[in-house]
Structure 1
Amino acid sequence: MAEIGPNTRLRVSPFYEATIGEGVTAFSPYNAMLMPVSYGDPDAEYDRLMNGVAQWDVSVERQVEIKGPDAAHLVQLISVRDLSAIDVGKGKYIPMCDHRGVLINDPVVLKHEDGTYWLSIGDNNILMWARAIAAERGLKVEICEPDVSPMAVQGPKAEDAVAAVFGDWVRALKYFWFAPAEINGIPLIIQRSGYSKQGGFEIYLRDGSRGTELWNIIKEAGQPWGIGPGNPNPIERIESGLLSYGGDTDDKTNPFEVRLGKYVDLDLDDEVVGIKALRRIKAEGVKRQQLGIVLDNSERHPGHAIWYDMLKDGERVGHMTCGAWSPRAHSMIGFALVGADRAVGDKVDVIRGGYRDPATLCPLPFF
């Protein structure tokens, strides 16, 4: 069997050995790291997330740490959402755009007590981007990737499992709120968050030498609730209408096209990167939109869609950007990035592997 040799271009997580022990069967590159994406039984992984508790290695959600006198100013410059009211111990979901108004990431920003900010990023080099903007503006900041690696505990019973380790105080955390914690001397941050709609927490490990130890603590505590390994689940995220930056977006996608308009504050200062372009895009009219799509063929299809052409009366009207067979919908479902002139209920054809699959556009989320 061929092996991938981890190196500085493709690093492993502090939880790598633990995931090997859990029987991981597949990895995917993400933020120059190996992300576990399968443990060999997708039905069981989906069931744990929907009905119990799942443990995920999501250390690929790298943190970009920004601190210094101009830290708050820089974070606002690279966010098109107003962050003036963000409080210590709370996070916010933010679109980040380039100078064209094109979406380049959608991290969660965390504001710490000492005026330090973390950007918990998707798959893109935001460390380099933040440093470039800071240098361009002559800002007094320090920017680095700290020794921080998130683990997600997700599912309807995740709160019970996490409370069993850290105490009932975690139940009071509201969404995106976070607080410091430790277990056996392991320094952590606990935040109510995660890439699912089933509830849960992300536990930010602050000592990469103790990944296996932390994994085993959470695993043992979660046994009464049937905890098991998993990963950000492609089926559940589609059913729940969660955007995948880089999966559902291309090099021209702006926030308005992918349902992020409510996170864009157009009255921000002109200095904010991309804000002037977004005002122009809004004034001229958004050209594309993201809708759901249901394939008429209800048979289960293997694999996940990657930007399949979508036709209407023989003319390309957009793309199906992702797809999966949904146990809840009993259909193949996905996201469509289509022209603004398309509407819910429109019939289209999806071209997959040379075949033409009839489908119907629908609202998001599915559930």
Structure 2
Amino acid sequence: MNNTALTAKHISLGAKMVPFAGYNMPVTYEGINAEHQTVRTSVGVFDVSHMGEFILKGENALDLIQRVTSNDAAKLYDGKIQYSCLPNEDGGIVDDLLVYRIDEKTYMLVVNASNIEKDWNWIQKFNTAGVEMHDISGKTSLLAVQGPKAAEALQSLTDVDLASMEYYNFSKGKFAGIDNVVISATGYTGAGGFEIYFDNEHADHIWNAIFEAGAPFNIKPIGLAARDTLRLEMGFCLYGNDIDDTTSPFEAGLGWITKFTKEFTNSEALKAQKEAGVSKKLIGFELIDRGIPRHDYEIVDAEGKVIGKVTSGTQSPSLQKAIGMGYVEKEFAKEGTEIYILIRNAKIKAKVVKFPFYK
């Protein structure tokens, strides 16, 4: 089991630790609902240092990124970030990722923890033009400071104007007295906030500085369980649950990150799929009857015929109702359609709703 540079800190704070993507990670501190509300109303800190970071450098770095990702990275400029995915050769998704343009010959890719080795090998397979690749995952720490008070809580630690940083932009500068820290605004909670990337050796110092600066804002450490309920309320996909090697970007509602202004892995087949239409779609639903939907529960129609499967589900702390995501046959994907979730052999009534659940 791998530890992050802050594992000892989480244990000392009484976090419940669980294995996640090969890492010993904090799942909760004081409880999911309380942590969830902290992020929605003030500010919370997630240690997400298990995520993977690759640096791609050289004349052909952009060409390689264009070849392996579905979005059009040529649209990026220095300090801009793009959400994208790595299509496989069978119509599915190797991973979803973030592409950071540091300068015209240098990019940082941020990938999912469980896919670091898989993604590295996949990109390397297409690296036929000698792009310099560095896997900095093992030496990089990442904190996500999320919530409506995040900018105020962190501003005293940096000269970067946090309040004016636009969504999906980043800046590199001094943070808590440490040079070369990447500060970005992507977020996975829908509550606003920032991601702070830095070398492991500064982890304790930066963690302590954040909590000292954030004390007047009631800042708290938050575990991965609340991260999951927060992202689910926004309808954000989680790799391994809502998207994987068998789901296409169009089935997953990710057509907006699939651009045919260039050629990329499997682009011809994906273009044909876009034109022909898909047979199943990822939907959001909320339960009308009582129950909680869970990953892999079957979705059925009024007659009990299986029409799909739940990929993510929870009792939403913000909405006080059960919500979920799942794939259904396309004729059941329209907003307002009544569907049923099989929970312990009982048909529990639900209806299809638009993302995000939480507005």
- Using structure 1 for the length normalisation, give the TM-score: 0.90
C-alpha offsets along residues 295-329 of structure 1, whole Å, 9 cap, x if unaligned?
A: 12346x5xx71121111112110011111112333
Which of 82, 85, 89 lines up with 1:92 in the alignment? Answer: 82
Question: Which residue of 2 is the match for residue 247 of structure 1?
Answer: 241
| Cα deviation code 1:217-268 (max 9, x no counterpart) | 1111110100001135222212111111211124321111112111111231
1:339 alignment partner in structure 2 = 329
| Mapped contact 1:25–1:40 kept (Cα < 8 A) | no
Answer whether contact 1:192 1:200 (CA < 8 A) is retained: yes
| 1:1-367 matched pairs, under 5 angstroms | 6=1, 11-30=2-21, 32-113=22-103, 115-122=105-112, 123-124=114-115, 125-134=118-127, 138-146=128-136, 147-167=139-159, 169-182=161-174, 183-185=176-178, 187-205=180-198, 207-232=199-224, 233-269=227-263, 272-298=264-290, 301=292, 305-312=294-301, 313-342=303-332, 343-367=334-358
Matched residues in 2 for 1:66 and 1:33: separation? 25
1:186 Cα offset (Å)? 5.2
1:356: Cα distance to partner? 2.9
The Cα of 1:127 is off from its aligned counterpart by: 1.2
CA contact (8 A) 2:150 2:193 kept: yes
Deviations 1:2-23 (A, max 9, x none): xxxx3xxxx2112222222222
The answer as to whether partners of 1:234 and 1:324 remain within 8 angstroms in 2 is: no
**Runs of 5+ consecutive residues of structure 2 not aligned to the other structure:** none
Change (3 A) 1:227 1:63: same
For the Cα contact (< 8 Å) 2:69–2:265, is it kept in 1? yes
Q: CA deviation at 1:44?
A: 1.4
Please tell me the root mean square deviation across aligned C-alpha atoms, in Å.
Answer: 1.8
Aligned twin of 1:3: none
1 CA distance for matches of 2:260 and 2:188? 27
TM-score of the superposed pair, with normalisation by structure 2:
0.92
C-alpha distance in 2 between matches for 1:229 and 1:165: 18
- 2-structure distance, mates of 1:114, 1:221: 35
**Alpha-carbon distance, 1:113 to partner:** 2.8
Find the aligned partners of 1:175 and 1:28 in 2 and give their Cα distance. 31
Count of residue pairs brought into register by the alignment: 348
Could you say what secondary structure the match of 2:163 adopts? Answer: helix
Gaps of 5+ in 1: 1-5
Taking only the aligned residue pairs, the percentage that are identical comes to 28
Q: Is the 8 A contact 1:64 1:126 kept in 2?
A: no
